[in-house]
């Protein structure tokens, strides 16, 4: 199968990107300055991320659609205001996670942002669950550009006036050169920022304008170190069909009101796990010294009993040290619990720590 290219492919090439195949797309892993510098630039200034490989699923409908989607997602969608977004999951009957996603209420329905590797499967699942009742468009005609970091608001507002008025996890339609573009204040780096959905033919020109204003292209490598420092899950690592949102320590994303009423896919298991606890749970892990514990590293307790596994681990440039997340048996999940990580045959000390490793700076609105 040929790998797909996003509409920024030429710009990535012009910017000397190193490419990697990701979810069937040729994507930039890094540019000439390297992951650490790209990471720092995003934290201190403003980074542009091509996330056009992610799925933009538009589902059109009114009250019926809200009811039907509430049977799928553990969200209070009836009270989700126009242009507001929620983080959620598409789950199996036993609450295994097919995908994690952002769902936004738009005028004539919902916009759901899906992971690139999952989007085709999600589309099929949702089509069946919704009995083909609604118009669903997994839009390949639109690109998605994220701009993240403290200077992003200044840069983006100089191109699209009004975006500065958006609050975190809300969006709106804007007009740029007679084009309808949808902007949300969101992202996945732990920084203030935006995600901009616009038609493919305008993506290149729009991104070059952001670069002219001082933002820089950032690759998937830094996107991974940024999200890990921010304690955010990555599908295929922290999240999978074998993990539930409760095990993933994401119960904050499940509406309390919906739990008491149940009646969504996976609600039986979710309720049971919330009441009885889970055997394994996602935690933050801080290795001592500089040792990096990568995915699949085994975790041991102080009496040398295997208690879990790392799901993501790298060097965090802003933390200036190694950071990791993983799953451990519940009884060892308390903050400051001493654990050991087996790296290249040797056991290295580490501690369970709270997330995020790096403090967020989102712009919160007064509601």
By CB under 8 A, how many residues form the interface with another protein? 19
The secondary structure of residue 235, as a DSSP letter, is B
User: Which of residues 25 and 31 has its CB atom nearest to another protein in the complex?
Assistant: 31
Closest to another protein by CB, 261 or 290: 290
Q: Judge whether 139 and 203 are in contact, CB under 8 Å.
A: no
Q: Is the peptide bond before 356 cis (omega within 30 degrees of 0)?
A: yes
Binding mask 261-300 for another protein (x = CB under 8 A): -----------------------------xxx-x------
For residue 258, count other CB atoms closer than 10 A to its CB: 18
To the nearest 5 percent, what fractions of the chain are helix, strand and coil? 25, 35, 40
Quote the least distance from Cβ 138 to another protein, whole Å.
30
Q: Which of 34, 205, 262, 277 binds another protein (CB under 8 A)?
A: 34
Please report the DSSP string for 106-159 in residue order: ETTEEEEEE-TTTHHHHHHHHHHHTTT-SEEEE-SSEEEEEEESTTHHHHHHTT
Using a 10 angstrom Cβ sphere, with 0-12 exposed, 13-18 middle and 19 or more buried, the burial of residue 212 is exposed
- 105 versus 216: smaller Cβ distance to another protein: 216
Kindly state the smallest distance separating residue 73's Cβ from another protein, in Å: 34
Q: Which of 107, 344, 359, 364 binds another protein (CB under 8 A)?
A: 344
Between 118 and 293, name the residue whose CB sits nearer to another protein.
293
Q: Is 245 in the site for another protein (CB under 8 A)?
A: no
Provide the CB-side half-sphere exposure for 78 (13 A, CA). Answer: 8
Strand order in the sheet with 142-148: 171-176, 179-184, 193-199, 142-148, 47-50, 216-217
The tokens describing 174, both together, are 């804007």
| Spatial distance between the Cα atoms of 265 and 102, rounded to a whole number of angstroms | 17
* Comparison of 36 and 353: residue with beta carbon closer to another protein: 36
225 is an interface residue for another protein by CB under 8 A = yes
28 binds another protein (CB under 8 A): no
CB of 290 to another protein, least distance (A): 5
The first and second tokens of residue 77, run together, are 């969608």
Q: State the nearest-atom distance from the C-beta of 36 to another protein, in Å.
A: 4
Q: According to CB under 8 A, which residues from 296 to 325 bind another protein?
A: 314-315, 317, 322
| Rounded CA separation 33/2 (Å) | 29
Find the shortest distance in angstroms from Cβ 39 to another protein: 8
Is residue 168 near another protein by the rule CB under 8 A? no
Closest separation in Å from C-beta 35 to another protein: 4
Which of 4, 22, 36, 121 is in the footprint of another protein by CB under 8 A?
36
- Report if residue 234 touches another protein, rule: CB under 8 A: no
Residue 47 interacting with another protein (CB under 8 A): no
The position carrying tokens 């899906």 is: 114
Does 259 participate in binding another protein (rule CB under 8 A)? no
Interface residues with another protein (CB under 8 A) are: 29-30, 34-37, 39, 221, 224-225, 290-292, 294, 314-315, 317, 322, 344
């Amino acid at each position: 199968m040929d790998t797909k290219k996003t509409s920024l492919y030429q710009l990535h090439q012009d910017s000397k990107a190193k490419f990697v195949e990701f979810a069937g797309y040729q994507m930039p892993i890094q540019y000439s300055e390297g992951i650490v510098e790209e990471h720092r630039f995003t934290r201190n200034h403003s980074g542009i991320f091509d996330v056009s490989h992610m799925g933009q699923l538009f589902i059109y409908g009114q009250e019926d659609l809200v009811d039907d989607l509430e049977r799928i997602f553990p969200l209070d969608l009836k009270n989700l205001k126009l242009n507001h977004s929620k983080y959620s999951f598409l789950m199996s009957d036993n609450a295994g996670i097919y995908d994690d996603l952002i769902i936004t209420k738009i005028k004539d329905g919902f916009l759901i942002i899906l992971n690139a590797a999952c989007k085709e499967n999600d589309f099929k699942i949702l089509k069946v669950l919704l009995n083909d009742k609604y118009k669903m468009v997994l839009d390949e005609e639109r690109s998605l550009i994220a701009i993240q970091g403290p200077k992003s608001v200044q840069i983006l507002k100089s191109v699209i006036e009004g975006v500065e008025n958006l609050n975190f996890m809300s969006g709106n339609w804007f007009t740029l050169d007679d084009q309808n573009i949808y902007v949300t204040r969101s992202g996945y780096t732990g920084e203030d920022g935006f995600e901009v959905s616009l038609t493919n033919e305008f993506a290149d020109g729009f991104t070059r304008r952001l670069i002219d204003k001082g933002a820089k292209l950032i690759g998937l490598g830094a996107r991974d170190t940024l999200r890990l420092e921010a304690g955010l899950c990555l599908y295929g690592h922290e999240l999978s069909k074998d993990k539930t949102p409760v095990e993933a320590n994401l119960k904050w994303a499940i509406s309390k009101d919906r739990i008491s009423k149940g009646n969504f896919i996976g609600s039986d298991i979710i309720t049971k796990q919330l009441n009885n606890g889970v055997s394994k749970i996602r935690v933050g892990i801080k290795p001592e010294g500089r040792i990096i514990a990568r995915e699949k590293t085994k975790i041991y307790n102080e009496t040398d009993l295997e208690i879990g596994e790392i799901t993501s681990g790298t060097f965090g440039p802003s933390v200036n040290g190694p950071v990791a997340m993983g799953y451990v048996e519940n009884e060892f999940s308390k903050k400051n619990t001493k654990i050991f990580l087996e790296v290249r045959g040797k056991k290295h000390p580490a501690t369970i720590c709270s997330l995020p490793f790096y403090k967020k700076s989102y712009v919160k609105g007064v509601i």
